[in-house]
Amino acid sequence: MIPTLTQSAASRKRREILSRSVALPLSIALPMLAPARSEAEDATKPFPPDDALREARRQGQGRFRWFGLTVYDAELLSTQPLRDDQWPQQTFGLRLTYARALRGGEIAKSSLQEMEKLGIVPAAQRDAWLQRMTALFPDVNQGDAITGVNLPNRGIRFWRTDRPLGTVDDPVFARAFFSIWLDPKTTAPELRKSLFGA
């Protein structure tokens, strides 16, 4: 006999699989049927008031989905065309506009997991990086955006929509974080192509 799950157990199992599998995953409290924002709506949003992005333009954008559900829209913001082999040495912003409610702690954990999949997390820094991201990343609702600004040879500055969240003065961390989307070995290669405008 094939065992069956109750509706609530099946829902919990589905959420557990999603949270383990997705970069910046759906949280346990995810409103599964909330409507996603359109890319046209997000294209009109102003960039964060960061000096590094004052002359920035949108180089590319794409939508990240999981099992048909939109998780976020991603945009690569750059002052000059970003090369896919030299991005760590260039100033740019990566903005994620969320289509669903997500917990900041889950965003931090999944970000670390994605970096670990790429094999670029120094063992000695793992816990410190997780603690720093957990402290920085807020819970988000539909329409909220988090932008990371790459500061070459220095680190990364984070914004929530138009409010600063903080800076991590660690170029190794910055490269590892942005590699989630920009490294050739990313788990979302089609999104990477879209961000670089391919």
Residue 74 is part of a domain; what is its CATH number? 3.50.70.10
**Residue 58 is assigned to a structural domain of this protein:** yes
pLDDT band at 12 (very low <50, low <70, confident <90, very high): low
How high does pLDDT run on average in the chain? Answer: 82
**Residue 27 is assigned to a structural domain of this protein:** yes
Mean pLDDT score, 75-103: 93
pLDDT band at 47 (very low <50, low <70, confident <90, very high): confident
**Residue 2 is assigned to a structural domain of this protein:** no
Burial of 197 (0-12, 13-18, 19+ CB in 10 A): middle
Residue 16 has pLDDT above 90, yes or no: no
pLDDT of residue 183: 96
**Residue 138 is assigned to a structural domain of this protein:** yes
Residue 18 has pLDDT above 70, yes or no: no
pLDDT of residue 1: 39
Mean pLDDT score, 33-47: 50
- 40 versus 196: the higher-pLDDT residue is 196
| The model's pTM | 0.78
* Tally of structural domains, the chain: 1
Residue 4 has pLDDT above 50, yes or no: no
Residue 38 has pLDDT above 50, yes or no: no
**Residue 159 is assigned to a structural domain of this protein:** yes
**Residue 87 is assigned to a structural domain of this protein:** yes
Cross-strand pairs, 60: 76
Domain that holds residue 39: 7-195
**Residue 90 is assigned to a structural domain of this protein:** yes
**Residue 1 is assigned to a structural domain of this protein:** no
Residue 77 has pLDDT above 60, yes or no: yes
pLDDT of residue 84: 82
Mean pLDDT score, 44-52: 80
pLDDT of residue 11: 52
